[in-house]
């Protein structure tokens, strides 16, 4: 019999191996293990020579919990929790809460897009106002006005685009309409308030989840704290099982078959009988055994490299003695006494409908973080005191702040930046004038409450070569927020920076750059009125007597409202962001930001900027290029 190429290679290489040498690397995916059990099994690699199959076969959820309690919580081996990954669906939360939720450096997920979906029917979050009925009424009216304007603007811009942009002959009418409607949403989304409901999915490690839950529980907004509680409950409670309905239907069929007492004859046997032949059990493959419901033999074939179970195990299937057959499989062919086990339906129910708790140990202790709460309060007080005589300076859309300061000054300036609304350049220049003792005091504020297992605040991720201070609309920032390979210091929501208007959007601006898509669509006044009214209403609610009034007021801020965020990164990330976000398929808001980032790099680092494949934002684009 000739050898295959693979077999020849293995034989020729192994014929010269010394005793004990191994060259056959094995790689296999693992499916079906609960997250914490899998984390325990992977952690055992560092202390045990057992294979993953052997480890998983001997680990129970109870043993995994004991191990994690000892090594994760008592000994502080935090990396163990990186091995347990959990998928969550988070639905009907506000845009504000979603932005807080996904503000993690280690995060994978996807959120509903305001670019491709109509958010008119999404609903919105209503915070608690206590006995402040006037604020509650003002809040509702403001939200309703913003959504009504969103609907008018979306329809008007769509009609404008349809009248100005011809459909290419090669483009189907439905694709043409869908594309123009998405471009209209790009404009209308500026009106969506932060109260708008959205949904998202996330896949995170248990380590990220624990810090995420703790951070959410420490937030000043009630909705965000409630979200932290719900995440903790979802991780420690029974998970939703996609296959539960199908599993229950299968169990019901087994139970019905047991009650009827009729044999379970496989399709293969029926076919043989119809032909007047008897099928030879020795010639039945594992796949045919499954088709014929010959479950015990199929299981055995799986375990024994294709060798079917002995006939005595198969005989147990007659009369639906499934449980005895399973026991025979476990005990080398010895059948259990009849009636000594529960029915197969009950056994299947225990296996297929059992409760799975994805992180019952690793997240159960997540609590509000005193380090975050106390430090943020003290930094806010210090920033207010230090900056009170310094009005917020004017700043461009993108400011690439060149490095002139020491690392200590950068740390102190970043801490103050995180607790204020001033530009980074303004704060940096001010802190640079402080004596070193004053700088050290500010840094001390960021660390003095840090506990044993607390990571230092994100502001301490300093020292990056490139620092971009972005000043843009919240809607565009939500897209920029997705970039994780950089450090983002995000200031709080406020109306004091004003708001953005879409301008020409994706249509050509003309030689004088005087085209305005909202004015052309006849809704510019509606747009301005709705946003300015929302800002005024937010100010009134913030000054009212409602519980958490200042937090509740932020939900009224539309996505057009400007926000400031400091992005620190290396050149590779700057290259990636500018290339990706300047592409024609992107939203015009962050395309403009990416273009300005490139121009700033070009001014300061021309020899590096020439290697960036950026798309010129000032040039017209094809609206149908997605």
In tens, the pLDDT along 288-322 reads 443 334 444 434 444 444 444 444 433 433 333 44
Claim to verify: residue 224 and residue 256 sit in the same structural domain: no
Confidence (pLDDT) at 332:
47
Q: Considering the domain boundaries, does residue 563 fall inside one?
A: yes
Q: Which of 294, 94, 119 is nearest to 191 (CA)?
A: 119
Residue 606 CA: distances (Å) to CA of 48, 298, 404, 603, 612:
53, 67, 19, 6, 10
pLDDT digits (tens, 9 = 90+) for 535-556: 999 999 999 999 999 999 999 9
Which is higher by pLDDT, 342 or 335? 342
How much is the average pLDDT of 145-169? 95
Region of poorest pLDDT, from 301-305, 481-485, 561-565: 301-305
Residue 460 CA: distances (Å) to CA of 36, 370, 463, 489:
31, 18, 9, 10
User: 344, 323 in Cβ contact below 8 A?
Assistant: yes
Residue 287: pLDDT band by 50, 70, 90 thresholds? very low
Claim to verify: residue 191 and residue 215 sit in the same structural domain: yes
pLDDT digits (tens, 9 = 90+) for 82-114: 888 999 999 999 999 999 999 999 999 999 999
User: 501, 527 in Cβ contact below 8 A?
Assistant: yes
Confidence (pLDDT) at 75:
53
Claim to verify: residue 319 and residue 264 sit in the same structural domain: yes
How much is the average pLDDT of 408-421? 98
Of 326, 352, 378, the residue that ends a domain is 352
Claim to verify: residue 378 and residue 527 sit in the same structural domain: yes
Cα angle 38, 44, 50 (rounded to 5 degrees) comes to 100
Q: Considering the domain boundaries, does residue 618 fall inside one?
A: no
Q: Residue 62 pLDDT more than 70?
A: no
Confidence (pLDDT) at 514:
66
Residue 71: pLDDT band by 50, 70, 90 thresholds? low
Burial code (b: 16+ CB inside 10 Å, e: under 16) for 558-572 equals bbbbbbbbbbbbebe
- How is residue 604 written in tokens? 């300061």
Q: Give the span between the Cα atoms of 182 and 164, in whole angstroms.
A: 16
Of 83, 113, 135, the residue that ends a domain is 83
Residue 3: pLDDT band by 50, 70, 90 thresholds? very low
Claim to verify: residue 530 and residue 430 sit in the same structural domain: yes
Confidence (pLDDT) at 525:
98
Q: Considering the domain boundaries, does residue 452 fall inside one?
A: yes
Residue 449, class by beta-carbon neighbours within 10 Å (0-12 exposed, 13-18 middle, 19+ buried)? middle
Which is higher by pLDDT, 335 or 588? 588
Confidence (pLDDT) at 626:
60
Q: Give the span between the Cα atoms of 415 and 428, in whole angstroms.
A: 11
Q: Give the span between the Cα atoms of 215 and 223, in whole angstroms.
A: 13
How much is the average pLDDT of 476-495? 97
Q: Considering the domain boundaries, does residue 615 fall inside one?
A: no
Confidence (pLDDT) at 256:
86
Confidence (pLDDT) at 76:
61
Q: Residue 527 pLDDT more than 80?
A: yes
Claim to verify: residue 143 and residue 109 sit in the same structural domain: yes
Claim to verify: residue 485 and residue 551 sit in the same structural domain: yes
How much is the average pLDDT of 196-203? 96
Claim to verify: residue 347 and residue 462 sit in the same structural domain: no
Q: Residue 54 pLDDT more than 80?
A: yes
The β-bridge relationship of strands 108-111 and 197-205 is: antiparallel
Q: Give the span between the Cα atoms of 250 and 394, in whole angstroms.
A: 67
Q: Give the span between the Cα atoms of 500 and 470, in whole angstroms.
A: 14
Q: Give the span between the Cα atoms of 153 and 159, in whole angstroms.
A: 10
Residue 259: pLDDT band by 50, 70, 90 thresholds? confident
Q: Which of 576, 578, 483 is nearest to 105 (CA)?
A: 483
| Helix, coil or strand: residue 275 | coil
Which is higher by pLDDT, 489 or 24? 489
Which is higher by pLDDT, 382 or 352? 382
Of 352, 380, 403, the residue that ends a domain is 352
Claim to verify: residue 269 and residue 303 sit in the same structural domain: yes
- Can you give the residue range of the structural domain that contains 459? 96-237+367-609
DSSP state of 577: H
Claim to verify: residue 167 and residue 282 sit in the same structural domain: no
Count of the separate structural domains present in the chain? 3
pLDDT digits (tens, 9 = 90+) for 566-588: 999 999 999 999 999 999 999 99
Q: Residue 487 pLDDT more than 90?
A: yes
Q: Considering the domain boundaries, does residue 89 fall inside one?
A: no
Q: Considering the domain boundaries, does residue 362 fall inside one?
A: no
Q: Considering the domain boundaries, does residue 626 fall inside one?
A: no
Please give the span between the terminal C-alpha atoms of the chain, in angstroms, as a whole number.
56
Claim to verify: residue 473 and residue 433 sit in the same structural domain: yes
| Percentage of residues in the chain having pLDDT higher than 70 | 81
Which is higher by pLDDT, 79 or 75? 79
Claim to verify: residue 416 and residue 527 sit in the same structural domain: yes
Instruction: Quickly count: other Cβ atoms within 10 Å of residue 266's Cβ.
Output: 20
Q: Residue 223 pLDDT more than 90?
A: yes
What residues contact 466, with CB distance under 8 A and at least 6 apart?
400, 568, 569, 570, 571, 574, 601
- How is residue 503 written in tokens? 């301008």
Confidence (pLDDT) at 81:
80
Region of poorest pLDDT, from 224-228, 267-271, 480-484, 594-598: 267-271
Query: What mean pLDDT value characterizes the chain?
Result: 85
How much is the average pLDDT of 253-269? 64
Region of poorest pLDDT, from 58-72, 446-460, 470-484, 602-616: 58-72
Q: Considering the domain boundaries, does residue 616 fall inside one?
A: no
Determine phi and psi for 404, rounding to 5 degrees.
Answer: -125, -15
| Percentage of residues in the chain having pLDDT higher than 90 | 62
Element (H, E) at 40: helix 35-43
């Amino acid at each position: 019999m000739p050898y295959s190429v693979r077999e020849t290679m293995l034989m020729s290489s192994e014929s010269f191996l010394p005793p004990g040498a191994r060259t056959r690397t094995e790689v296999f995916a693992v499916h079906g293990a609960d997250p914490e059990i899998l984390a325990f099994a992977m952690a055992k690699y560092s202390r045990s020579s057992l294979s993953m199959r052997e480890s998983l076969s001997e680990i129970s959820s109870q043993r995994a919990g004991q191990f994690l309690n000892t090594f994760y919580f008592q000994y502080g081996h935090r990396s163990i929790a990186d091995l347990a990954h959990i998928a969550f669906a988070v639905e009907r939360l506000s845009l504000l809460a979603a932005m807080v939720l996904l503000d993690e450096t280690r995060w994978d997920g996807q959120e509903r897009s305001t670019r491709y979906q109509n958010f008119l029917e999404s609903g919105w979050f209503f915070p608690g106002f206590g006995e402040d009925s006037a604020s509650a009424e003002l809040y509702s009216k403001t939200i309703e006005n913003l959504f009504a304007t969103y609907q008018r603007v979306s329809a008007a811009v769509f009609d404008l685009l349809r009248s100005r942009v011809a459909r290419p002959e090669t483009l189907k009418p439905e694709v043409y309409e869908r594309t123009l409607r998405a471009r209209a949403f790009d404009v209308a989304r500026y009106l969506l308030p932060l109260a708008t409901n959205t949904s998202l999915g996330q896949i995170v490690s248990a380590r990220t989840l624990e810090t995420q839950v703790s951070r959410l529980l420490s937030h000043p907004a009630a909705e965000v704290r409630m979200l932290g509680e719900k995440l903790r409950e979802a991780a420690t409670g029974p998970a939703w099982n996609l296959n539960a309905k199908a599993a229950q239907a299968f169990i019901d069929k087994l139970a019905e078959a047991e009650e009827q007492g009729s044999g379970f004859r496989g399709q293969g046997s029926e076919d043989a009988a119809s032909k007047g032949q008897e099928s030879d059990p020795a010639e039945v493959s594992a796949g045919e055994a499954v088709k014929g419901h010959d479950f015990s033999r199929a299981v055995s074939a799986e375990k024994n490299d294709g060798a079917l179970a002995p006939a005595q195990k198969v005989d147990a299937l007659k009369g639906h003695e499934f449980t005895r057959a399973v026991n025979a499989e476990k005990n080398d062919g010895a059948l259990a006494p009849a009636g000594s086990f529960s029915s197969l339906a009950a056994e299947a129910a225990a296996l297929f409908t059992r409760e799975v708790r994805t992180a019952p140990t690793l997240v159960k202790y997540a609590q509000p973080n005193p380090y975050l709460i106390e430090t943020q309060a003290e930094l806010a007080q210090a920033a207010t005191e230090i900056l009170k005589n310094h009005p917020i300076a004017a700043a461009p859309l993108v400011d690439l702040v060149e490095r002139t300061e020491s690392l200590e000054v950068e740390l102190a300036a970043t801490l103050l930046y995180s607790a204020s609304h001033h530009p980074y350049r303004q704060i940096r220049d001010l802190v640079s004038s402080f004596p070193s003792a004053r700088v050290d005091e500010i840094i001390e504020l960021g660390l003095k409450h840090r506990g044993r297992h607390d990571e230092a605040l994100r502001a301490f991720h300093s020292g990056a070569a490139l620092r971009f201070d972005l000043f843009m609309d919240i809607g565009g920032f939500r897209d920029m927020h997705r970039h994780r390979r950089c450090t983002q210091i995000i200031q709080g929501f406020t109306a004091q920076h004003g708001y953005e208007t879409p301008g020409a959007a994706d249509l050509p601006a003309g030689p004088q750059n005087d085209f305005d898509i909202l004015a052309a669509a006849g809704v510019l006044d509606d747009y301005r009125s709705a946003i300015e009214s929302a800002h005024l209403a937010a100010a009134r609610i913030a000054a009212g007597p409602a519980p958490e009034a200042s937090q509740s007021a932020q939900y009224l801020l539309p996505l057009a409202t400007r926000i400031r965020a400091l992005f620190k990164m290396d050149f590779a990330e700057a290259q990636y962001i500018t290339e990706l976000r300047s592409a024609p398929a992107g939203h015009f808001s962050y395309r403009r930001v990416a273009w300005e980032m490139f121009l700033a790099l070009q001014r300061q680092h021309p020899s590096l900027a020439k290697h960036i494949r950026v798309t010129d934002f000032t040039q017209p684009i094809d609206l149908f290029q997605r």
